[in-house]
Amino acid sequence: MPLVAALIGPRARPATGPPQGAFRAFRLGLTTGAVYFAGTLYWITAVMRLHGGLSLPVSVLVNAALIAYLALYPAVFAIVVDSIAGRLGASAALLSPFAWVATEFGRSTLLTGFPWVLLGYSQATFLPIAQIASLVGVHGLSLLVAAVNGALVYGVVTRGRLRISVVALAVATAVAIALWGRWRIAEGSLARSGVPIRIGLAQGDIPQDEKWDQSRAQWIFRTYLDLTREAASRGARFIIWPESATPFFFEEDPVGNEMIRRLAVETRAFLLVGSDQVERGTPPRYYNAAFLVGPAGRTVAVYRKIHLVPFGEYVPLQHLFFFASRLVQAVSDFSAGDSIVMLPVEGHPATTAICYEVVYPDLVRQSVLAGSQLLTTITNDAWYGHSSAPYQHFEQASLRAIEQGRYLARSANTGISGIVDPYGRVTERSRLFERTALVGEARFLTIRTVYARIGDVAAWFSVLVVLAALLATWRAGPRLDRERTSRR
C-alpha cells in the first residue's frame, strides 16, 4: 500500500522531530481515495447524464460529490495510521490493516452504507484465496490483503532481521490460505450435497430507453414469455426474470398478470418475476419488488427491496442537490421494504436480493440465518452500458456464494446473468447485451459456513484493535516523547 509507505516511510517521518501532521495525512488519504473511487465509479457520470437527464457538467459534479464523500474514509484511515505511527513508528504498518478494514466497515454501514468495491473483492476471481470468505467474509478478505501489503511496507521501511520474519510470515500465511482454498475447492462436498434443481435465467436484453416505452411493451413482454418457455423446455423448474422485467405493474395489469399465471401453469415451473408494486394510499407507496408465482398459477410470495439505490431509487438530502433538480424529478421515489421474505420453491426456502442489495454481506447472511437454502439476485444493469460496472457487480455477487456456502443464481436484464456454486465457480454465465435463456443446475443447501454463523467478526475486531491502539498510543505519547528527548 503506497499510502501506508508514504505515511510512515523515512521521508514522511524523519528520525528526529515530530510527525508532519494530521493535515498532510488527511490530504494523502483523500487524494488516494479520490483516485481509487474515480477509477472504479467513473461510470456514474454517464448514468446521470444518459438516464438522469443531467447535463455533462452537472453529472460530473454529482459524481464528484459522491467520490469526495467516499474518499473521506481513506482520509480517516490515513489520519489513524499517522497518529499511531507518530508513537510507534514503522510498527504502525502492522496495525494499518485493521485501520483499513475498520474504515471500510464504516463505509459499508454509515448513512445506509455503500459497500461497493471493497478491497477484498480484488480476490473474488482468485478462488483459492477467496475461500477464506467462507470463514471471515469479505471484510476478513480485505484484512488479509491489507495485512500482506502492510507487512511488505514494514519490510521496505525498516532494517534488521525482524522485517525478514514479518514478510516471511505474511507470505507464508497467504500461501497456506491459498493451499487450503485449493483443497476446499477440490474437496467440493457442497457441490454434491443437498437437493438439485434446474434453474432458468431469462435475460431479455431490453435497452434502458425502451423499458417503459408503451409502443414496445408487447414486444418486451413477449420476449420474456418466449425465454421462459425455452428455459422450461430444457428442464428448468425455477425460472427467474430480471429486476423490473415487466413493462407494467404486475398487480395492476390484469391481462399481463393472467398471462404470467397461465405461463406458470403451462410450464409447471416456479416463476420469480421482477416488477414494481404500488400500495394504494394517500400518498401511494411504490416498491421495487419480486413476485413468486407457483406452478398452480398463484402468487406464493412477494419480496420488497430493502436497500434502495441512492440517486437511482431515491435522492438522499435532496435540498443539498438543488443543482440537480432534474435528477430529483427523474428519480422514482420508492419506499423500502422492511423484511426478508422466504420464497418457497419445491418445498425449499429461497431468497432474492434486488440489484445492489447483493453487495451487502450481512443482508444476505440474515437471509441464510432465516433459513434460505438458495440465493438469487435479480438486477437491471442496462444503466451501466459497456462500462466495468456490470463486471464489478457480478464479481461482488459471486462472493456471497462463497461466504454463505450457497448456490447463487443471478438474472440480469442485459447481463451478466449466471449461476455460481458455493465455491465461487461460475457454472453458467451469459455475455453482456445478449438475449438468452440460461439453464443450469443449482442445489438447495442447509449447511452453514463459519461466516454465516459468526458474521463480521473480522470487521468488529478491527474496530476494537484500532480503538485500543489509539488509546494506548495517546496515553503513551508524552512518555515516548520524553524518552526521545532524553536520548538526544
Residues with catalytic annotation?
Answer: 243, 305, 355
For the chain, what is the mean pLDDT?
Answer: 90
CA atoms of 459 and 105, how far apart (whole Å): 6
The helix or strand, by DSSP H or E, that contains position 419, with its residue range, turns out to be strand 418-420
Q: Where are the domains of the chain?
A: 2-187+456-487, 193-452
Residue 21: the pLDDT is 78
> Tell me: the pLDDT tens digits for 124-149?
999 999 999 999 999 999 999 999 99
CA 367 to chain centre: 15
Comparing 52-56, 158-162, 369-373, the range with the smallest average pLDDT is 52-56
Query: How deeply is 386 buried, as exposed, middle or buried, from its count of CB atoms within 10 A (0-12, 13-18, 19+)?
Result: exposed
> Tell me: the pLDDT tens digits for 237-250?
999 999 999 999 99
CA 354 to chain centre: 12
Comparing 7-16, 53-62, 127-136, 200-209, the range with the smallest average pLDDT is 7-16
Tell me the Cα Rg of the chain: 25
| Domain 193-452 superfamily per CATH | Carbon-nitrogen hydrolase (3.60.110.10)
State the DSSP string of 363-405.
HHHHHHHTT-SEEEEEE-GGGGTTSSHHHHHHHHHHHHHHHHT
Residue 419: the pLDDT is 98
> Tell me: the pLDDT tens digits for 68-124?
999 999 999 999 999 999 888 889 999 999 999 999 999 999 988 999 999 999 999
Under 8 Å between Cβ of 321 and 327:
yes
Residue 47: the pLDDT is 86
> Tell me: the pLDDT tens digits for 262-293?
999 999 999 999 999 998 888 889 999 999 99
Under 8 Å between Cβ of 410 and 359:
no
Residue 50: the pLDDT is 81
**pLDDT over threshold 70, residue 361:** yes
Residue 321: the pLDDT is 54
